[in-house]
Amino acid sequence: MLRWIAIIALAVGVAGTAAWGYKEHQEKNAILIQAENTYQRAFHELTYNIDLMHDKIGTAIAMNSRERLSPEMAEIWRLTSESLANVGQLPLTLLPFNKTEEFLSNIGEFTYRTAIRDLDKEPLSDKELDTLKNLYSQAGDIKDELRQVQHTAMENNLRWMDVQLALATEDEQADNTIIDGFKTVEKKIEGYAEGNVDSAISGTSSENHKYENIQGEKISEEQALQYSKDLFNIKEERDLSITETGDGADIPLYSISFSEENKRAYLDVTQQGGYPLTLLVDRPVGEQKISLNEGFEIAKQYIEKHDFKDMEMFNSSQYENVGIYSFIYNQDGVRVFADAIEVKVALDNGDIIGLTANNYYLNHHERDIPEPELSSEDARDFVNPNVEIQEDFLAVITNDLGEEVLVYEFLGLLGDDTYRIFINAMDGHEEKVEKLNGKEINYAGI
């Protein structure tokens, strides 16, 4: 009897295991099918969007009506955005595809800038028309390559999951038709003459941005180590490691790091002048003993000590027991948002545990700031009348075109929400509107 009970129990166990295994197999297959469908959809949409973008660029070249050209440029910009989103959904993280993404971004940048400007006052130049023609030709090449990949993939029932596996395992023996096709696209774009898009776009992110405020004599590794030792609040230099940036870096740096059981620290300091660009100290922060206001005084003294002049606090907040303070440059009463610094202070003992000054050194210079055409009162007329304005400032910001513009910055309330509204000080154009959270309202004091 016991023997039969044991046999039955074993049979039930085997059947249960088989059922569980079958269910796991089915669920795994369902996930794989879902992923494959997502990849297939993204790829076919990418191919379609590039095809349509090519046609739209050709249409724009043939247009004579400025009323129709702006919407056409906006449509091309939309298609480039969707194409970039499609690329982001494909399993290409291990495949270099940055040139293609940069190419699409540049088309989007060019068409967006054209779409939003007044083409009656500033029509397309001959140079911009030549750029459009180049883009049309190049988009046609990309379209043809993607169509070829699409045809081959459909004809041979190729799967994107195999592409993902081949990339992850670097399997040279696998059928890499899709991979080879995308490599061809990337190689074609890399072979295009540099500047065919950038030359028609000034002040964009693709322009080489120089560190203009880096001066002074070159410091030695020993000086950089001593400097970092003081910042890290440690005694022994032997606990530090230091490396130099290689050839081709935007600016020569010393990167210094430190690690022990409960503390890790990292610093980037310029070789010329010894300016700190980034500081990060990771350690447990104990019970708060310093107020947010006291932390601000420590941060203020720190940036003054490192020759950051004419800075004013723009915002302060607290996360757990860390005070975070944002400073922006003030030139003769005008707030310059691009020249920004962020300092983090541990509120247990006042240590500086974070600094981000890269934007300051990239952007800082003395600007020739014009007198505003509008008064503050005139500019208020361009603000939504339902906004209750609390404060206003004169400021320089970078607009959506990558250009610095003089604005009135209005801080106001609408219902229970706080908004920052930037009105162009020359013509009253609403440059930007930002919704703030409660902690970001603190400007002048704490």
In this structure, what DSSP letter does residue 440 have?
A: G
Number of domains in the chain: 3
pLDDT in tens, 399-424: 876 789 999 999 988 888 888 999 99
The pLDDT-based confidence of 165 (bands split at 50, 70, 90) is: low
Listed residues 200, 231, 248: the one ending a domain: 200
CA 371 to each of CA 375, 394, 424: distance values in angstroms, whole numbers, following the listed order: 10, 10, 12
Stronger pLDDT, 66 or 431, i.e. the higher one: 431
Residue 218 CA to residue 86 CA, distance in Å, equals 46
Give the residue-averaged pLDDT of 8-17.
55
Assess whether 52 and 157 both reside in one domain.
Answer: yes
Assess whether 173 and 270 both reside in one domain.
Answer: no
Q: Within a domain: residue 422? A: yes
Residue 374 CA to residue 372 CA, distance in Å, equals 5
Assess whether 345 and 384 both reside in one domain.
Answer: no
Assess whether 359 and 435 both reside in one domain.
Answer: no
Assess whether 152 and 79 both reside in one domain.
Answer: yes
Helix or strand or coil: residue 159?
coil
Assess whether 394 and 319 both reside in one domain.
Answer: no
Q: Within a domain: residue 94? A: yes
Q: Within a domain: residue 207? A: no
Q: Within a domain: residue 446? A: no
Q: Within a domain: residue 205? A: no
pLDDT for position 208: 43
Assess whether 131 and 268 both reside in one domain.
Answer: no
The pLDDT-based confidence of 292 (bands split at 50, 70, 90) is: very high
Assess whether 89 and 162 both reside in one domain.
Answer: yes
The residue segments making up the domain with residue 300 are 221-363
Residue 437 has pLDDT above 70, yes or no: no
pLDDT for position 1: 58
Residue 121 has pLDDT above 80, yes or no: no
Q: Within a domain: residue 345? A: yes
Helix and strand numbers, DSSP H then E, in the chain: 10, 12
Show Cβ contacts of residue 83 under 8 Å, excluding neighbours closer than 6 positions.
46, 49, 50, 53, 104
Pairing of strands 276-282, 253-260: unpaired
The chain-wide mean pLDDT, for the chain, equals: 76
Pairing of strands 404-414, 417-424: antiparallel
For residue 324, count other CB atoms closer than 10 A to its CB. 18
Listed residues 301, 332, 363: the one ending a domain: 363
Assess whether 182 and 239 both reside in one domain.
Answer: no
Assess whether 298 and 225 both reside in one domain.
Answer: yes
Q: Within a domain: residue 206? A: no
Helix or strand or coil: residue 218?
strand
CB 445 within 8 A of CB 401: no
Pairing of strands 417-424, 430-436: antiparallel
Assess whether 136 and 33 both reside in one domain.
Answer: yes
Assess whether 94 and 10 both reside in one domain.
Answer: yes
Q: Within a domain: residue 211? A: no
Listed residues 301, 331, 363: the one ending a domain: 363
For residue 305, count other CB atoms closer than 10 A to its CB. 8
Residue 351 CA to residue 233 CA, distance in Å, equals 8
CATH code of residue 392: 3.10.450
Residue 206 has pLDDT above 60, yes or no: no
pLDDT in tens, 25-67: 455 455 556 666 777 777 788 888 888 888 888 888 777 666 6
CB 258 within 8 A of CB 228: yes
pLDDT in tens, 258-285: 887 778 888 888 888 888 888 888 888 8
